[in-house]
Amino acid sequence: MTLKELKAALKSLERISSSQEHGDHNLNPDLKPDAPYKESSVLILFVHCEEDQTLSILFTKRAKSLSNHPGQISFPGGCKDDIDKDMIETALRETEEETGLSKKDVTILGTMEKYITRTGFEVTPVIGLISGPVITTPEPNEVDEIFEVPLEYILKEKNLKIETLLYQGKDRQFYALSYNEQYIWGATAGMMKELVDVLNKPRK
């Protein structure tokens, strides 16, 4: 997928609206948390390498010292702060804090529908674009590693799968994607699946 094709596909986000709440409970209806939810946002950051015209998506591996989801892979982001004017500002601020990438270098391409996590977060996925290659500086108290996955790899249907594990005595389903030694699963993979559906949707 080229940058031009990406931007054309993301235009559909402006027209997509659904009364259905998206989230982890789409695969496991009994795990839907009770409202109110905690407002947060993440930045799904496309890195466009101008040299070879390729696209990738940036991910962070959470620090093992964190109390919530230590060592798991996620998009940069976090909870809304009082200083944030909107969820886009939250995603940009958190990304800058976690990765060292300046929000001034990020072009916003749109937002996706909010995603409800099993743990009670209402996440707004913000779509951003930055020119690469990028030089990142992980915040050591929050991030152990920052890496990219080629968009071409993510878009292949065989790579983003539904897997099952036993949780609280029941089989639970979740989306997952393996890339090299990285294993992306749960809410992050769930949001990625919704993005892939948008990008792979046939266009006239």
Task: Write out pLDDT tens, residues 75-134.
Answer: 999 999 999 999 999 999 999 999 999 999 999 999 999 999 988 999 999 999 999 899
CATH code of residue 103: 3.90.79.10
Specify the pTM: 0.93
Separation CA 177–CA 161 (nearest Å)? 6
**126 inside domain:** yes
195 domain-assigned: no
**Domain assignment present for 189:** no
Number of structural domains the chain divides into:
1
In a domain, 62, yes or no: yes
Judge whether 186 lies within some domain.
no
Range of the domain at 61: 3-151
Tokens of 114: 């909010």
Q: Is the peptide bond before 36 cis (omega within 30 degrees of 0)?
A: yes
Of 43-47, 55-59, 116-120, the one with minimum mean pLDDT is 116-120
189 versus 12: the higher-pLDDT residue is 189
Q: In what order do the strands lie in the sheet with 182-185?
A: 160-167, 170-179, 182-185
